[in-house]
Structure 1
Amino acid sequence: MRVVITGASGNVGSALSRRLQAAGEHDIVAVVRRVPNRAATREWVSIDLSRPDCEPALQEVIRGADAVVHLAWAFQPSHDVRYLESVGVGGTQRILDACVATGVGHLVHMSSVGAYSPKRDDNPVTEDWPVGGIPSSSYSSHKAAAEKLLDSFEQSVHGTAVARLRPGIIGQRAAGSALLRYALPVLLPARTVNAVPVIPLPDGLTVAMVHADNVADAIVRVLQQRAAGAFNLAAPTPVTAAMIAEALGARWIKTPAPVLRALMLATWQARLQPVGPGWLDMGCAVPPLDSSRARRELGWSPTVDAMGVLRETVEGMSHAAAGATAVLRRRTVVGEVSELLSRGPISHRHES
């Protein structure tokens, strides 16, 4: 099977590539913006999905593929929402256009728990929950907008099976440096992750989580079965504020969400840290996930529970764990300061 993977160098893409290569029965084409230095194990193609003029190159790569797995997404620069939209929503439209032009038979799209509309209570929701996003979160709004593009595609295009995966927050040890780069102020070393004495979080925060390897397993099952439709992916029992504090070895201070949001907004606008308040809004509003459809139809089940995913991810962050790609490269304070001085804060710059 010839599989084209966009965003193959990222958190999920790296796990999926490992899984497919281990099977040894797939021809993998990795579509990324930055091709790794050591790229001999598969075919790598550099394409920037944020650019409308990428479409001819994208069609050339996709033509003849049995399936396309669309993972590419941007999380930074958080202050440039137009660029984030051009990657997430615009990139998805360009993938869909290329699928139409080349007649691909199977598209697997990586959506998110963030695509869902706000929860009403703490009961897990199935895939028929409304997909309207959290308006104050650009990430959530863009994930919901991308799903609307899929709706239009399915209504007008026949012959392409479309699967939508809606995982919780995806963690693994190798993503430690990437998460630090996106979430930690430049001057703070990785070891400060485990040196936080107290952590302010709202009481209503609940976060569905799932391990990257388990998401990769679900994607492989979808490809093998040529499955279509939406699938929630989450480990049982979402992570709570108390569990986050426990994983960090910190004391939890219950803090009203509006207070914490105001603090996040002020420090984000002052360029003191790169995470906008929309992420807090999303964490407090998205529903827990019922993954029974994936279990029933794909034979999928998570092998790591939510607390295990959280602990492994925190451990990876505290050791600045890294992978072989530019997205997962090792984070150091010296390196981050150098990038800051030469190119500005990550919340404002486009990664080259």
Structure 2
Amino acid sequence: MNPSDISRVVVTGATGNVGTSLVRLLAREPRVGSVLGLARRRPGLDLPGVEWAEVDLSREGDEPLLARHLADADAVVHLAWRFGPTHEPVETWRTNVLGAVRVFDAVAAARVPVLVHASSVGAYSPGPADGAPVSESWPTHGWPGAAYTREKAYLERVLDTFERDHPLIRVVRMRPAFLFKEESASGQRRIFAGRFFPGQLLRPDLLPVLPEFDGLRFQVLHTDDAADAYRRSLLRDVRGAFNLAADPVLDGAVLGELFDARPVRVPAGAVRGALAAAWRLRLASASPDLFDALRHMPLLATDRAREELGWEPSRGSVAVLEEFLRGVRAGAGDDTGPLAGHRIG
């Protein structure tokens, strides 16, 4: 199949952060004939050129339904992912790992020519001691303590076997940094800070100091820019992994300027202890293990995406974070279950 001709694309997890950006982008792409978005709950979005269907990838017995949806697909983009409940990692494993395996098996059975999988910076092993950005060849063993990174790394091994067994299927793995947009603000606040954290508190005038600790150094990217990379990977004859991130790298100094706050050095253990206490009391959704993973994630070199996909981020990382924080304060969202907008709740 000519990669520039994609009659039908199926997107799993189409109502989430990346999914909503991607289906909108593909619906406007003249080289894509139609888009089918799969999700656990049908959204309120009415997008020309996009159909919707309900599938629960974590549920045994939905395999025949999934097979019917993939029967006439030219490409499948697998985005479906559950971040919680973080206190019950078996539940996320059912969706994130077993659900992904069901999708991969259905792709193989239907002989879909293209599979694009949402991996992550979290799949990578801890970065080099000098902090240099890593290429796509860096080991993908994740951080063993966090469910999110274990699951992302495990699926890298599953895809290694899948590619060996199905060499005619073109497999692409996207490994983006943290992805944000205004419309995802409420959903991501619920994921990381909890349902009842008031987003209005994230204002520069309320944060005179900013805790700075060893390992506070990470990258972000606007979700729409990540979706553009996914689109390009569908329409070009490329395989393998692509790192995605925007500049500059975010650290204590950059975040201090963003919040107009003075960075204050604190022990990482103290921050972890506070997060662990909040998590155990179910006041915060993000586990302390995810904090450990964040401190050890490498920085990403994005040369391959720029050269082979012709991809460039349209927004810098500071602008991305500013937009996201505006969305958190305003309770911004989208007309889907995962992204419903609320300031609290």
Aligned 8 A contact 1:3 1:28 in 2:
yes
Question: Matches of 2:208 and 2:39 in 1, distance apart?
Answer: 39
Please say if residues 248 and 314 of structure 1, whose CA atoms lie closer than 8 Å, have aligned partners that are also in contact: no
Structure 1 segment 265-304 matched on structure 2, within 5 A: 265-304=276-315
Does residue 7 of the first structure (1) align with residue 13 of the second (2)? yes
Provide the C-alpha distance between the structure 1 equivalents of 2:28 and 2:47, rounded to a whole number of angstroms. Answer: 15
| 1:63 corresponds to 2:74 | no
* Aligned 8 A contact 2:24 2:47 in 1: no
1:210 is aligned, of 221, 244, 269, to 221
Q: Which moved more, 1:23-32 or 1:123-132?
A: 23-32
Q: Report the counterpart of residue 45 of structure 1 in structure 2.
A: 53
Stretches of structure 1 that go unaligned for 5 or more consecutive residues are 337-352
Amino acid at match of 1:272: L
Aligned to 1:156: 165
CA distance in 1, matches of 2:196, 2:59: 33
| Greater Cα shift, 110-119 or 171-180 | 171-180
> 1:23: how far off?
2.0
In the other structure, the counterpart of 1:263 is 274
Query: C-alpha separation between the residues in 2 aligned to 1:298 and 1:86?
Result: 33
What residue number does 2:247 align with? 236
Pairwise CA distance, 1:243: 2.4
Contact 2:328 2:343 (C-alpha < 8 Å) held by counterparts: no
Q: How far did 1:328 drift?
A: 0.9
User: 1:185: Cα distance to partner?
Assistant: 4.2
| Contact kept? 1:247, 1:314, Cα under 8 Å | no
Q: 1:323 aligns with which of 305, 313, 334?
A: 334
Contact kept? 1:88, 1:142, Cα under 8 Å: yes
Which runs of 5 or more residues in structure 2 are unaligned? 1-6
Letter in 1 for 2:324: T
1:95 aligns with 2:103: yes
The answer to whether structure 1 residue 221 and structure 2 residue 232 are counterparts is yes
Deviations 1:81-107 (A, max 9, x none): 011111111111111110111000000
State the partner residue of 1:74. 82
The two structures have a TM-score, normalised by structure 1, of: 0.91
1:183 aligns with one of 188, 192, 195: 192
Aligned to 2:25: 19
Deviations for 1:121-145, whole angstroms, at most 9, x for unmatched residues? 3100000000000111110111000
Q: Which amino acid aligns with 2:78?
A: H
CA contact (8 A) 1:180 1:331 kept: no
- 1 CA distance for matches of 2:167 and 2:131? 37
Query: In structure 2, do the counterparts of structure 1 residues 40 and 11 end up closer, same or farther at CA, with 3 Å as the change threshold?
Result: closer
Question: Does the alignment pair 1:133 with 2:142?
Answer: yes
Q: For structure 1, which segment, 197-206 or 143-152, has the greater mean C-alpha deviation from structure 2 after superposition?
A: 197-206
* Deviation, structure 1 residue 327: 1.1
User: CA 1:268–1:201 in 2, change beyond 3 Å: closer, same or farther?
Assistant: farther
Residue 29, structure 1, aligned to residue 11, structure 2: no
Structure 1 residues 267, 323: CA separation in 2 closer, same or farther (over 3 Å shift)?
same
Paired AA for residue 176 in structure 1: A
TM-score when normalising by structure 2? 0.93
Number of residue pairs the alignment of both structures matches: 334
Inter-partner Cα distance in structure 2 for 1:221 and 1:64: 21
Aligned equivalents of 2:104, 2:324: Cα separation in 1: 33
1:302-321 equivalent positions in 2, closer than 5 A: 302-321=313-332
Root-mean-square deviation over aligned CA pairs: 1.5
Contact persistence 2:329–2:343 (CA under 8 A)? no
> Cα deviation per residue 1:59-95 (whole Å; 9 max; x = unaligned)?
1101110000001111111111011111111111111
Residue 10 of structure 2 aligns to a residue whose secondary structure is strand
Query: Could you tell me which amino acid in structure 1 is paired with residue 241 of structure 2?
Result: A
Matched residues in 2 for 1:187 and 1:164: separation? 34
Give the secondary structure class of the aligned counterpart of 2:28.
helix
Q: Which residue identity does 1:5 align to in structure 2?
A: V
Q: CA deviation at 1:38?
A: 4.1
The 1:35/1:50 distance shift into structure 2, 3 A limit, reads same
Farther off after superposition, 164-173 or 279-288: 279-288
**One-letter amino acid of the structure 1 residue matched with residue 122 of structure 2:** G
**1:203–1:241 CA contact under 8 A, matched in 2:** no
The answer as to whether partners of 2:118 and 2:174 remain within 8 angstroms in 1 is yes
